[in-house]
């Protein structure tokens, strides 16, 4: 049960962080720019693919961030 609660808290905090970012962009620009949500999704897919190739979670996360940073620039 504790694992379920921890996983729920982690996933909820990720969604809350994305929602706060979207709200800040909406409040500043008066335009709902959802690009950062798309990059978060792309990063999570990159981490899943890299983890599936045999890399650990930490190296996959670092490479996933690097991949999204290169794509976003």
pLDDT at 5 over 90: yes
pLDDT band at 9 (very low <50, low <70, confident <90, very high): very high
Contact yes or no for 32/22 (Cβ under 8 A): yes
| 54 vs 16: CA distance, rounded Å | 30
- 64 vs 48: CA distance, rounded Å: 9
pTM value?
0.71
Give the Cβ contact number of residue 46 at 10 Å. 19
18-65: per-residue pLDDT in tens? 899 889 988 898 888 888 888 989 999 999 999 999 999 999 999 999
């Amino acid at each position: 049960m504790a694992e379920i609660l921890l996983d729920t808290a982690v996933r909820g905090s990720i969604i809350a962080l994305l929602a706060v970012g979207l709200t800040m962009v909406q409040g500043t620009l008066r335009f709902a720019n959802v690009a950062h949500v798309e990059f978060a999704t792309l990063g999570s897919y990159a981490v899943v693919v890299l983890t599936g190739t045999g890399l650990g979670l930490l190296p996959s996360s670092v490479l996933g961030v690097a991949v999204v940073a290169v794509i976003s620039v």
